[in-house]
Structure 1
C-alpha cells in the first residue's frame, strides 16, 4: 500500500502490485486546505445581506470554499450533517401530501389505478403494514383492514353520517381515531375491526395529533389544541394515565402538532423517549417510565420556525431513529448515551417513510414538493464535500443570491518555453448545478497581465434607479516595466464592476485604474470602499447605462502601512493593517457644500501582523494575525480623554495555532438561554473551523 499525502489537494491511497508493475487507486481522502477564501450559504435563508443560521441546525449552513492551489485548485461545497444518497427517482408529481397514489416497481416504474382493495380517491391518514401480512388504510371517511394476498378489504369501519376522521394512528393491535376533532375512538384489530371505546370531548377540547407507539401497544399519546397539553391514554378505556401541559401561561398559540414515543437511547441504559413537535418549531422531549409511563426530564430544542413532522425509522436491537421534516430537516439519533439532533442534507423533504425491501434494502421513500424518490440515509452526522475541479487557484469567491451564482477570481500558473506565465480570470459557477456557466472574463489590462486580488458581491443602483447585483473585482498588475510616476499610465491595478447578462455571461460595466493593488472591497449604500496599497478610498458609484458607469473618488484615508482587509458595520469601517493591527474609520457622505470625509475613530496601538477582520457585535471586532492569534477588540468609548476614547483595547484573545485567511460573520437565531452563540466562521491555511466548539464567543 502506498499513501500519497497532499497539502494542496486530496490525499490518495494506492495498491501497488510489484509483480505486474501496476498501481491502483484504492481511496481518495478529501482535503479542503488551504482555504484562500470562502462564503457562507444558509440553505434556509436566502434574503438579506447577513447570513442567518438556525441555532441547532449548523449542518444547514453550506460553506463554499476556494480550496487547493494550482492544478489542484477546486471549489468545495462543505456541509456537516446527515447525508442522503439518492437511489432513484420514482416519479415527478405535485401535492404528494394531499392524495393517495400507488406506484408499482416491476421492471419499469408506473402508477396503478387499483391496488389490493385500497381507496385511491381520497388522501390517506394512515397506510401501514401489519405484522401478520395485512394492511391498514385510514381515510377521512373510513378504516379498511385489507388482506394483501387476496387483495380485498376483509373489514371496514366508518363514522356516522356527516362525520369525518381527522387524525389517526395504528400499531399491530389497535387503531386510535379522532372524529370531527372532538371525540376519540379506539378500534381493536383481530380478525375484524372491533370498536372498543369512545370518549366524547365535547366543546371543551380539540384533538391536534395522535400517536400509537409500536413498542407499547396498550397505550396512545394524544395532543390537544385548546389546552396545549398531551395525555398518555389507556386504549382500552381511553382515560388518561398522565397529562402534561406544554404551554406557558402567557402563550396561547403553542400547540402540539406531532408526537412520537420510541426507544431512541439503548434500552439497557434508558427507557423510551417522548418527542412532541410544537406549532412554533420547538420540540419537547421527555423521559418515559417503562412501568407506569410517567413523564420526567422535560427538555426543549428548536428545529425550525414551523412545526416538524416526525417519522420513526426502525434500527437493529429494538431502537429507532427519528426523521424530522421542516424547513430544516433533521435526523434524531442516539450517540454515546445522548440524543443527537443533526441536520440532513435533504433541504426540500416534505414527508418520508421507511422503504426497506429486497430490491432496495434499508432505503427511505422521500417526497418533495415535486418528486418522489428513494434514498439511503447515513446513521449519523458526517462532513459532506462536493468538489468542482477548477484546475486553477481559486483565490477569491463571492456569492450572488439574485443571480444564484458564485463569482470566482482564479489564478492560473503554467510554464511555457521555460517561462512561468501567470494569468487571472473571473468566472461564474451556478449554485444549483454546481458547474461553470458563461465565458471566462480574462483579466488583461492595458499595462499587461494582472493578478486578481479581490472579488466582492455588491448591490448597486442601475441607470433606472433599481438595485442590481454586481461583482467588484480588484486587481494588481504583474508587469516588470514600471510606469513613469505622474504619467497617464501610472496605474498599478484596476477596479472592475462586472454585471451578468441574460445569457449568464460576465461583462464589464465600468473600470477604473488605481495606483496600487486593490486588495479588498466594501459597500456603504452607493459608495464603494476599496483598500488600495497604503490607502483606503471611497468612490461614488453612478451607473449611466448597463455598459458605462462613473466612479468618482470622494474621500480617502491612509493607514499606518498596508490595508489587508476591511469590515463595514453601518458607516464604520474597520481596517486591518499589515503590520499595525487595526483602526476604525467613520465615513461621512457629502452634505450640501461639505465634502465626504473619512475620520479615524479609534486605533489599536499594538503592533500586529493582521490577516483578517470581522465585526462581532456592538463595539466589538474580531481580528486574526499571522501568528495564529485571535483577538476581540473594543473601542474605549467611555474613556476620559480623547486619546482614551480612540484607543482599541483587547477584551479577549485566543491562540488558534493556525493562520486565518478569512473571517465571515454569521448571525444565529439563538434562544434566550443559549450558553454559546456562534459569531463567525474561520477559514485557515490548514483547516476550516465551524460549529459551536470552534467558533469564538465574543463574551
Structure 2
C-alpha cells in the first residue's frame, strides 16, 4: 500500500478575482484578492498596499463579491466555491479575525452545471443574491432587509439555456436582471426579467433586444441614476437602456474584464486578451446618456480582474502574468502610454511544465518553470534559499577571522574590514574611489587576532592570544591593555559594547569591563574543562535596560540598542556542555549537557520576534536551539537541526531592520523567525568559513564572506523560504528539459502575433538557453502551422558520439482537423562551447499524428503519437547517417498524453482512460498491456511513486494512486490497477517531477517523545523523519502557480498523521464553515469517495501557527482518541518538534 504526504511548497499566485471594499473598517480601503483556494486582504495606506490577512479556504473560489448588509457600517464578503458551497464573511475589528455570518450549500441534486460562472450576482439594493449555476435555472438567495441574514434559497426556471452573461440592473423598484444569451442558431439576444420574491418567479422585464452583435460577450451594468447596460462585443461597445441606444466601434479584440472607476458609472476600465487597458466613458446630462467615448490607455499584464483603488491607482489581477499596481497619469509618456507601473506581484502560474536542476550536486533542486501565457510567458527559477548578490570579491586565501569597524561608536556605517590570518592581520578600508584598499593603523598589533569590534567610548577592541587591547578611534593610539598571567594565553573571546569575556588556557573565564576607554578585570572563574566557545551578546528586548550606560537620542547604529548583557554563555570541551553564567559575578545559573561527541564550537544568544534563544553550533555541523529565560538563566526545550557536516560558526547580521543569524559552515545557512518559528534557509553559495556584516556607504547592508580561497562582499536576498527569478520571454513557454552535460535548457515556445486581417498567427520555436545565465544561445524555427508539444533529453544505444540529445515532438495544427494527423520527432545535438553552443538537427522522423509525449527508454525513445505508444531505436549507417527507426508500438488508447517508464515497464496516462501499465518484451521486440485502471479518469499529469505504484492527477482537481497487483491469483486481478489512494487537491496539476527544494539531510531529532510504534524518527540518531523519502520526493506544478510536494510515508507514519489530522479538524474549523473532510473528498463527474492514504500536510503543519491554547486542545484530542496503545501521552512540545521536522522536509 502506498501512503503519501502532500504539502504546499508555494501557495497559489494567480489572482482570479479582486475587489475594492471597506472590509476591515468603515473608512478603510481594502483590496481583496482571490487566489484559487485562498484569499488575501490588503489595506491601502499612504505607503501603498499593506498585507493584513492570508486565509486558506476549503474550496476553489468561483464567485467572490462584496455587499453591504442592512445597517452594517462595513462590507461583507460573499464566496461560492466550485462545489457550490457558499459563505458570507465579515471582519471583526475587535478580534481582528474574519468571522462567518452565514454558510451552506446551494448544490442541486440534478441539473447540468453552467459552462460560464458570471460575476455581478448581487442585487445593487442588497435584496437578494442571484446566480446562474445550472443550465435552465436561476438560483436565488433572498436577503432579509432588516437583519442582513440570508433566507432559504430557491430556483426559478430560466428558458435561456446558453447563457453568455447575466447582470443585475440598477434603478428598478424590483430586482431586475439582464440576460445575454445565444439561441440554437448561434444568434445572440438580450432579455430583462423582474424577480418576484414572493411568487418565486420571473416577470417580464422592462425591455429586451433581439439580435445583438454575434460577438457580444460581456454586460456592464451602469449604476443609478443613469442606469442601463453596456453591451461589449468583439468590435463594438453599445449603451442600451431600453429607450436610448449609443454604439461606438473598436479594434477587434475580446474584452475579458472590466472595473468601475467612478461610483456614478461614468467611466469603466476594460482589459482585453492581449493586455491592452482602455477606458470607456459615458457622456451624460442627468440621467440621459448623450454619447460613449473609448480611449486606449496602454499595456498591462493580461488581466483577469481590475480594481480601481483611489487617486488613479488600479490593481491589475492576472492569471497569465504578474499582477500589477498601476497609476493612470493625466499625460502620455514617451511611449504613448498613460500607465505607470508602481509595483509588481509575482505570479508563476500557470505552470505549464517545469524541470528540476541540481546544479551544485548537493541534492537540492531548483525548479525552472514554463510560466504564464502569450505575451506574459516567462521562465521562472525557483529555489529554496537565499542568494548573495556579489558586489566585490578578491582572492584572499587563509582568512581565519573578520570584523567590520566603524570610525566612531555612533557612526552609522562601517569604514574598515579587519582580517586575521594565521600570524598577521590586514585592514581594508573604503578609499575615495569607493575601492577597497589596504590601510595601516599601527596601534593594531600585527599578530593573529581572535576578536575585534567597536566599543562604547570610541575605542576599538583587539583581542590577541597574548592581550586585550583598546585603541582610540580618534588618536589611533593604544589607550589600554589587559594581559593574562604569565604562561597563560587567551584561547577564545567575546565582547559587546561595554563588556569582554575571555577564556585563557586551563579553563579560566575572565570577565572584563570597558569604561572611559579603559579595560579592567572584574571577575574570573575556573571552569571544569577547557573552554571551547563563549558569548555575551546583549539581548535588546531583555537587556537594554540592564546596562550601566544609558543612551539618549535616537540610535544611529543597531549596536547601540543594547550595550551590556546580564549573562554569559560558555561551551566546554571534554564534557560537551554549555553553561549560563550570571554577570558580573560569573555565578553558574544553568548547565546543559549536549550528549556524547556533541562538541560546542560556537554559542550565540539572539532574540527573534521578541523571544530569546540560545543557539549552539556543534562540531558535526548541526545546531541546537533552546528558548532562553534571561532573568533566571534557564533553558527551555532543545531542538536540533543538521545544517552541514563541518563545524558551525554563528554570528548575527541585520537585513531590512531585522536581526538574523548566519551559520558559517560547508552549507552556510541563515536562521530567522516567522510566526514565532525558527526557520533555516541555506545560502546559495559554496562553503563559508567566516562571515561578518559590512554595512559601509559604498556597500550598504552587505555581508563579507570568506572561503578557503577568496573574500566576497555582497548583499543578501530577502530573507524568505522561496526565491523566484523571472526571465521574460514575451512568448508562451510550453515544454522544458535540462541537459546537464552541456549546461543548457531546451525550451519549446510559441509566439503569437496578429496579422493584418486581425487573425492570430502562432510560430513555434525550439530555443536553447544557458542553464545559469538564461540567455538564449540559439533558436530553431519550426514550420508554419507546426506546434512544439514535447521534449526530452535522451542518450541512444549504438550512438557513436555517446552523448545526449534534445528530442522534440511536434504536431501540425490545421483548423479543419479534429486531431492532428501529422507531426515530427526532431533530434538535436548541442554543439560548440560557452557562448557558441548551438542546436544542430541530427535527424528527424515524420509521424502520423501529434507527438504528445516523449520518454527516454533504455537507450531508445518512447513517443505518444495520438492513440499509440511507439518505440523508436537509433540507427547509424556506415557513412554516419543517423536516423530513428520504429521498433514496435501499442494501440488501444484514446490519446497517449503522458508516459513514464521504469526498467521495461511503461506507464501511460490517457486522455480519458486513466492509467495503464505496459511492458516491453525485449526478446520479442513488442509492447504489451499487462494492467489498467478500469475507472475513467481524464488525466492531466502522471508520475511513478515506486515499482508498483503510480500517481495521477485528473481534470477535476483530484490526485489518485493506483497499484499493480502482481501477486494476485487470477489473471483478471493481475490485469487490474487497483485504486489505493484518493485525495482532492483542488488544483489542476500539469506536471510531476522527482526532486526536492531542500537539502537532503536537513532534519534530525534528539528527543524521545512518546516512543512507540508511531514514532516518526529514529530517536537520538541523525535520521530523517521520512526514511528515504527525499530520494523519491516528488514536486508538482499547477495552473494556479501552486507548487506542491509529495513525500512517501510508511503505514505507521500515516496512521499517526491521520490522528493528528483528525484532532486538528475537531479544533480548527474552516473559514466560512466549510468542512475539511468534504473538501478533501475525491469527486469527479461520476463518483465521490472519502480521501484515503493521503495526508493533508498543509493542515498538519497549520498546527505550528496555532495559539498555545489551541495547540493544547489538539494535543488533548490526540491523547484521548483511544489510539495511544499504552505509549506515553504527547505534549505540545513533542508534537511541535515532530511537525517542525516534517515541515523541514520540503
TM-score with structure 2 length normalisation? Answer: 0.52
CA distance in 2, matches of 1:43, 1:131: 46
> Match of 2:897?
564
Shift of 1:637: 3.3
> Match of 2:672?
333
Shift of 1:30: 2.5
Residues 73-88 of structure 1: matches in 2 within 5 Å?
73-79=377-383, 86=389
Residues 278-427 of structure 1: matches in 2 within 5 Å?
278-313=618-653, 320-344=659-683, 350-356=689-695, 362-367=701-706, 370-375=710-715, 378=718, 380-381=719-720, 384-418=723-757, 420-427=760-767
1:101 to 408, 422, 426: 426
Residues 41-60 of structure 1: matches in 2 within 5 Å?
41-42=357-358, 44-45=360-361, 52-53=363-364
How many positions carry a matched residue from both structures? Answer: 655
CA distance in 2, matches of 1:148, 1:435: 49
Residues 444-455 of structure 1: matches in 2 within 5 Å?
444=783, 449-455=785-791
The structure that is strand-richer by fraction is 1
> Match of 1:37?
353
Q: Is the 8 A contact 1:82 1:345 kept in 2?
A: yes
CA distance in 1, matches of 2:504, 2:816: 86
CA distance in 1, matches of 2:855, 2:379: 23
Where 2:850 maps in the other structure, the secondary structure is coil
Deviations 1:356-377 (A, max 9, x none): 4567665544456644324255
Deviations 1:369-397 (A, max 9, x none): 6443242553x526543222212211111
Aligned in 2, Cα 1:407/1:377: closer, same or farther, shift over 3 Å? closer
CA distance in 1, matches of 2:748, 2:732: 8
1:633 to 962, 969, 973: 962
Where 1:71 maps in the other structure, the secondary structure is helix
Where 1:519 maps in the other structure, the secondary structure is strand
CA distance in 1, matches of 2:663, 2:887: 53
1:457 aligned to 2:793? yes
Aligned in 2, Cα 1:78/1:229: closer, same or farther, shift over 3 Å? same
CA distance in 2, matches of 1:315, 1:407: 37
Residues 181-580 of structure 1: matches in 2 within 5 Å?
183-190=507-514, 191-192=518-519, 194=521, 196-197=523-524, 199=526, 207-215=531-539, 217=565, 219-233=567-581, 240-247=588-595, 252=597, 254-266=598-610, 270=611, 272-313=612-653, 320-344=659-683, 350-356=689-695, 362-367=701-706, 370-375=710-715, 378=718, 380-381=719-720, 384-418=723-757, 420-437=760-777, 439-444=778-783, 449-459=785-795, 468-478=803-813, 492-502=823-833, 503-541=836-874, 549-580=882-913
Deviations 1:125-163 (A, max 9, x none): 322111222112234555432222221233445668997
Q: Is the 8 A contact 2:450 2:465 kept in 1?
A: yes
Where 1:587 maps in the other structure, the secondary structure is strand
> Match of 2:1036?
682
Q: Is the 8 A contact 2:1036 2:1045 kept in 1?
A: no
1:661 aligned to 2:1000? no
Pair member with larger Rg: 2
Residues 157-172 of structure 1: matches in 2 within 5 Å?
165-172=490-497
Where 1:522 maps in the other structure, the secondary structure is strand
Q: Is the 8 A contact 1:365 1:375 kept in 2?
A: no
1:13 to 302, 325, 344: 325
Q: Is the 8 A contact 2:943 2:951 kept in 1?
A: yes
Where 1:644 maps in the other structure, the secondary structure is helix
> Match of 1:62?
366
Q: Is the 8 A contact 1:255 1:279 kept in 2?
A: yes
Aligned in 2, Cα 1:113/1:141: closer, same or farther, shift over 3 Å? farther
Shift of 1:198: 6.2
Aligned in 2, Cα 1:454/1:242: closer, same or farther, shift over 3 Å? same
1:620 aligned to 2:949? yes
Give the superposed CA RMSD: 3.8
Q: Is the 8 A contact 1:197 1:236 kept in 2?
A: no
Shift of 1:300: 1.7
**Higher-RCO chain (CA-CA 8 Å, sequence separation at least 6):** 1
Shift of 1:576: 0.7
Aligned in 2, Cα 1:193/1:431: closer, same or farther, shift over 3 Å? farther
CA distance in 2, matches of 1:311, 1:545: 65
Where 1:605 maps in the other structure, the secondary structure is coil
Unaligned segments of structure 1, at least 5 residues: 47-51, 54-60
Shift of 1:530: 2.3
Shift of 1:609: 0.8
CA distance in 1, matches of 2:771, 2:329: 42
The structure that is helix-richer by fraction is 2
> Match of 2:136?
none
Shift of 1:350: 4.9
> Match of 1:57?
none
> Match of 1:587?
920
CA distance in 2, matches of 1:247, 1:464: 57
Shift of 1:504: 1.1
CA distance in 1, matches of 2:351, 2:839: 25
Shift of 1:605: 0.8
TM-score with structure 1 length normalisation? Answer: 0.82
Q: Is the 8 A contact 2:451 2:464 kept in 1?
A: yes
Where 1:151 maps in the other structure, the secondary structure is coil
Where 1:101 maps in the other structure, the secondary structure is strand
1:111 aligned to 2:440? no
Unaligned segments of structure 2, at least 5 residues: 1-312, 401-420, 540-563, 1005-1015, 1018-1023, 1050-1079, 1081-1092, 1096-1146
> Match of 2:458?
133
Q: Is the 8 A contact 1:38 1:65 kept in 2?
A: yes
164-173 vs 528-537, greater mean Cα deviation: 164-173
Aligned in 2, Cα 1:283/1:558: closer, same or farther, shift over 3 Å? farther
